[in-house]
Chain A
Amino acid sequence: MNSVLTRRRMIGLSAAAVLIAVLFYGARLGPAALANSREITGWVLAGVSVFLLLFNVRKRIPAFPVGRGYYWLQLHIYLGLFSGAAFLAHSEWRLPTGVLDWCLWLVFAGVFVTGVFGIVLSRLVPSRLNARGERVIYERIPAFRTQLAGEVEALVLRAVQEAASSTIAELYVNRLLPFLSHSRNFWAHMLSASDHRQALQNEIHAVRRYLPAEGNAILDEIEARVLAKDDLDYQYTWQSLVKGWLLLHLPLSCAMIPLVVVHVVINYAFGLGGM
């Protein structure tokens, strides 16, 4: 698990490489040995795409014994990589010409890029989620955020009453309230940067010297909650990425189906036999 090139991965990559080599060799031989290399690579690509789409079908029938999701994903990944090579072979390394072909090209590129992004994300996310704060259930994050905001508000009121401090109230209104009310610092969390966190802490520490002892004790509690909220934002960012990337990959994959059908029909209708 720790090494990037595990045995399983080596096998998968080798299999994909062999398939790609066979495809390119077949495509090169095509005009001589076979009727039309574009037609062959086109149908290979269509077949692979159908199989790639079946992964989503597998997810929707979990009650049936149709193989473990893990093996499906492995096949999906390696065939997905293979489909990229098949696409290049099919397009013969050239950019498309017509509007429809451009659409198909762009949508395929979108599916491929989001797919690769998904692979990278699945490798990255577990360690990121373990790095800071507790792994909180995504749907519960807003409730936890509200809870923390409520606790901070109660502490600020206590500070006003018990420590007769308006400094904390000012800090709360100007700085903490906007921070606590929404999820913040998406990009910073994505880049695992912590400048904003440090800045917040500095601002909290800056008011300490104006506070009596009780006020400082309350400020400690406030600071702990502010940091907990930052950890929540961090979890929210990474979990949003996990949920969000599929919202790109899946619709783009579905959009490919009609485009491919039209592409095939047009090419056969006009007797082009390929593109």
Chain B
Amino acid sequence: MSEADIALILAQPFFAQIDTQAFPAQMPLADILSHDSRIVRYEPGEVIIRRGDYGNSLFAVVEGTVRVLLQSPRGLQRRAPGQWRRWSRAFASTFGSRRRVENRDLARYQIQTGGTPRAAYTRIRDLDRIVAETQTVPLGQGEIFGEIAALTRQARSADVVAETPVTAVEIRWQGIRDIRRFARPVRDQLNDRYRDRTLANTLAREPLFAGLDAKVIEAIASESLIETYGEEDWYLRLQKLDLAGRLEQEPVIVAEGHQLDDVLFILSGFGRVTETVERGQRTIGYVRAGEAHGLRELLEDLQSGGIGLRRTSLRAIGTVNVLRIPSTLVEHHILPTLAPGQLRPQQKSRAGEDSQRRLDFIVDGRYMNGTATMVIDLARCTGCDDCVRACASAHDNNPRFVRHGHSEANLMIANACMHCVDPVCLIGCPTGAIRRIEETRTVAINDAACIGCQTCANSCPYSNIRMVEIRDTAGKPVLDADTNQPIIKATKCDLCFDTPGGPSCERACPHDALIRMDMQDPFSLLKWIER
């Protein structure tokens, strides 16, 4: 970025309020901006952010007007298919030709996309009509948007479209993180916006707060602290993680032995729960977005007549956003509404050597991210490949997973999409082709919208997305009209969301060796593997 660009950014109201002196000499604000921001321009009708996308950046309007669309227009949405589609897919996959591999009906692409996929999914042609008929909010020069998804990596909550020619500053979350660290007013401003606009709604959707009325949730939101720990995304160093020093690399959020005066609710990211064993730390569990740390300890203390000290520590795996809720609020409002099953037992009570190693394996490999992780019990798997064949049969005769992966003793995590809590593969898809379908919580790829850019495949930290060359219905490779190169599409496990019986792999396994499991609760996994 040129100096003129930096000057332009610094002149924007959001950045102008920042005290540049507050930044250390080795990390001046101008450097942060030059590394983590860029000037972007949009034509009228161009989609800047899409509802459901996992963006990791904030935008500030420099020039022009954008429209926030509070109802998503058709075409930008992705829904689970109805029953009829599911059954017709099942018939097609069962009775279709086994020789057709990755064949696509090109005529249907034309109908679905009305031309090139990129144009169809990144531009809205009748914005004027949408603005006239639905609820929208205009944002003009100096306004910011997208900060909440960037900070907490939740799905974007609305579509934002350029209404006029727009010039904007886009700043990546790493830049926002650094600015928040040194510029307190910015941190407070962003936290306040998050608290005012989103936090209460976010909490209301979480099971932990399900029994509370809106006023209590608002009170909890306003009296709790929003904090961020850790400086790096959990997935960036996954491949080269130094396991020996891993605990030292993870900042402590709350420490064992300290007063238990608050409960930590995880807004985004993952935390490792540890306890001291002699002079070392042992992993005894983990928490992920939507879960709380300290709840059980608090309940046990209250039952035994007084709040004491923490028995476990919580460490940040990557960057973690937490809500620090005072114990008194938890005691008076949350605990009385919880069902007994909502409190997870401590790992400690079960941990044998094998369970301990498996738990470390899950946390170190970041497999706790999965909501439908493919777990294979190697003590039962014969390698018959019925699961692979079933998957291929349900997906264009090309399996969507590899029956291979990292393993710890007889526990194998196969290379199949885990439908992550934090699906980082979604970040940066230019057409929004890869989305999370809210009804099913499945991460799926809209084949018609995929332009084969490989962004998702490069982003998935578990290497669970594969690019395939597609063929037409006659079996001929489909070539790009401009480059004459084969057209490729991203493919991955979609949990058979469009077939009637659910994941074919799990249902096919004749040896009860394969399961799709939500890794929220390590006990279920350990129980299954030790059954």
Contact = CB atoms under 8 A, between A and B. Distances in A.
Interface of A: 1, 59-70, 72-73, 121-122, 125-127, 129-130, 135-138, 239, 242
Given A65-B507, A130-B378, 10 more contacts: A61-B94, A63-B93, A64-B501, A69-B508, A69-B510, A70-B509, A70-B510, A70-B512, A125-B382, A126-B381
Nearest to A130: B378
B501 A122 contact: no
A122 B378 CA distance: 12
A210 to B, nearest CB: 41
B389 A62 contact: yes
Contacts of B180: none
Contacts of A1: 379-380, 531
Contact of A63 (B94, B383, B386, B506): B94
B517 to A, nearest CB: 15
B508 A73 contact: no
Nearest to B390: A62
Nearest to A239: B383
Contacts of A242: 382-384
Contacts of B499: 63
Contact of B511 (A63, A70, A136, A137): A70
A141 to B, nearest CB: 11
Contacts, number: 91
A66 B90 CA distance: 12
Contact of A135 (B384, B404, B501): B404
Given A70-B509, A137-B404, A59 B389 contact: yes
**Max chain B C-beta neighbours (<10 A), residue from A60, A70, A72, A121:** A70
Contacts of A138: 383, 385
Contacts of A136: 404
B496 interface: yes
A117 to B, nearest CB: 13
B510 A73 contact: yes
A130 B379 contact: yes
Interface in B476-526: 496, 499-502, 504, 506-513
Contact of A65 (B394, B404, B500): B500
B378 A129 contact: yes
A125 B510 CA distance: 14
Contact of B382 (A59, A68, A72, A121): A121
Contact of B89 (A60, A63, A73, A129): A63
A63 B382 contact: no
A16 B221 CA distance: 61
B380 A63 contact: no
B507 A69 contact: yes
- Sorted from nearest, which 10 A-B pairs have the closest CB atoms? A65-B501, A62-B390, A73-B510, A63-B90, A62-B504, A69-B510, A70-B512, A125-B382, A63-B499, A69-B508
A137 B502 CA distance: 25
B402 A137 contact: yes
Contacts of B276: none
Contacts of B500: 63-65
Contacts of B496: 63
A141 B453 CA distance: 31
Interface band, chain B: 35 or more
**Max chain B C-beta neighbours (<10 A), residue from A1, A63, A70, A136:** A63
**Max chain A C-beta neighbours (<10 A), residue from B412, B507, B513:** B507
B319 interface: no
B201 interface: no
Contacts of A129: 378, 381-383
A68 B390 CA distance: 12
Contacts of B511: 70, 73, 122
A69 B404 CA distance: 20
**Max chain B C-beta neighbours (<10 A), residue from A121, A122, A127:** A122
A121 B504 CA distance: 24
**Max chain A C-beta neighbours (<10 A), residue from B383, B412, B501, B511:** B383
Nearest to A123: B382
B77 interface: no
Contacts of B393: 60, 62-63
B410 interface: yes
B52 to A, nearest CB: 27
Nearest to B402: A137
Contacts of A64: 90, 94, 500-501
21 contacts: A62-B389, A62-B391, A62-B504, A63-B90, A63-B93, A63-B94, A64-B90, A64-B501, A65-B507, A69-B390, A73-B510, A122-B382, A125-B382, A126-B379, A129-B382, A130-B379, A137-B402, A137-B403, A137-B404, A239-B383, A242-B383
B413 to A, nearest CB: 13
A65 B499 CA distance: 9
Contacts of A137: 402-404
Nearest to B87: A64
Contacts of B504: 62-63
A125 B506 CA distance: 20
Nearest to B388: A137
A242 B403 CA distance: 15
B84 to A, nearest CB: 15
Contacts of B509: 68-70
Contact of B383 (A59, A61, A135): A135
A231 to B, nearest CB: 15
Contacts of B382: 121-122, 125-126, 129, 242
Nearest to B503: A62
Contacts of A239: 383
A256 B180 CA distance: 75
Nearest to B93: A63
